[in-house]
């Protein structure tokens, strides 16, 4: 399974180690890891809860992977996204790509996280000292995803 939603802590470095173990056909491995920040918009973040839409999430992530494989010559793709409540510094998401070609691995990794940010049904709820707030979608994310449209 190269696309997974997990509802507890995961170790992106162990995931990457397993992803690369015995890999001798594709020398280029790119990754992106998102960590829970301890501060956002000037306010301290005590915790973050990721809600998602079970069923639709897996479907959209699988579609992202299919799209990336159609665009770049990838030997392998890994996407792990955590849901539930997590603390600052903990990993939220890992995207990894392996290819014989450095540019393919790097571009596909950027593509996957850009598309994931706008096309996968996840929502972030932040806990701050002054209460809970839902994170607003950012127009930069829409723009980042738009550059991959064709």
Partner 1 sequence: MRIRYFAWLKQRVGRGEEEIELPAEVRTVGDLKAWLGARHPRFAEACAATGVVKAAVDHEFAEDDRPLAGAREVAFFPPVTGG
Q: Which residue from 9, 38, 54, 73 is in contact with a copy of itself, where contact means CB under 8 A?
A: 38
Residue tagged 């980042």 (tokens): 144
Nearest to 78 by CA among 16, 13, 122: 16
Size (the chain), residues: 150
DSSP state of 30: E
CA distances from 25 to 12, 68, 70, 89, 99 (A): 22, 19, 19, 33, 8
Binding site partner of 55, from partner 1, a copy of itself, none, Cβ cut-off 5-8 A by kind: partner 1
Whether the CA torsion 52, 55, 59, 61 is positive or negative: it is: positive
Binding site partner of 29, from a copy of itself, partner 1, none, Cβ cut-off 5-8 A by kind: a copy of itself
Binding site partner of 84, from a copy of itself, partner 1, none, Cβ cut-off 5-8 A by kind: none
The distance of closest approach from Cβ of residue 55 to a copy of itself in the complex, given in angstroms and rounded to an integer, is: 27
- Read off φ and ψ for residue 132, nearest 5 degrees: -95, 150
Q: Binding residues for partner 1, per CB under 8 A?
A: 34, 50-53, 55-56, 59-60, 81, 92-93, 102, 113, 116-125, 134-138
Binding site partner of 59, from a copy of itself, partner 1, none, Cβ cut-off 5-8 A by kind: partner 1
Give the binding site for a copy of itself (CB under 8 A): 11-14, 16-17, 20, 22-39, 88-89, 91-92, 100, 102-103, 105-106, 109-110, 113, 117, 140, 144
């Amino acid at each position: 399974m190269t696309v997974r939603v997990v509802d507890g802590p995961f170790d992106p470095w162990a995931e990457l180690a397993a992803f690369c173990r015995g890999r001798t056909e594709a020398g280029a491995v790119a990754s992106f890891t998102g960590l829970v920040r301890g501060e956002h918009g000037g306010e301290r973040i005590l915790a973050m809860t990721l809600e998602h839409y079970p069923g639709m999430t897996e479907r959209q992530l699988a579609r992202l992977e299919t799209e990336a494989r159609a665009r770049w010559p990838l030997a392998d793709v890994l996407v792990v996204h955590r849901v539930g409540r997590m603390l600052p510094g903990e990993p939220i998401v890992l995207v990894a790509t392996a290819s014989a070609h450095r540019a393919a691995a790097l571009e596909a990794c950027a593509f996957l996280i850009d598309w994931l940010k706008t096309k996968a049904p996840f929502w972030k709820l932040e806990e701050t000292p002054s209460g809970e707030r839902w994170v607003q979608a950012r127009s930069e994310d829409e723009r980042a995803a738009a550059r991959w449209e064709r």
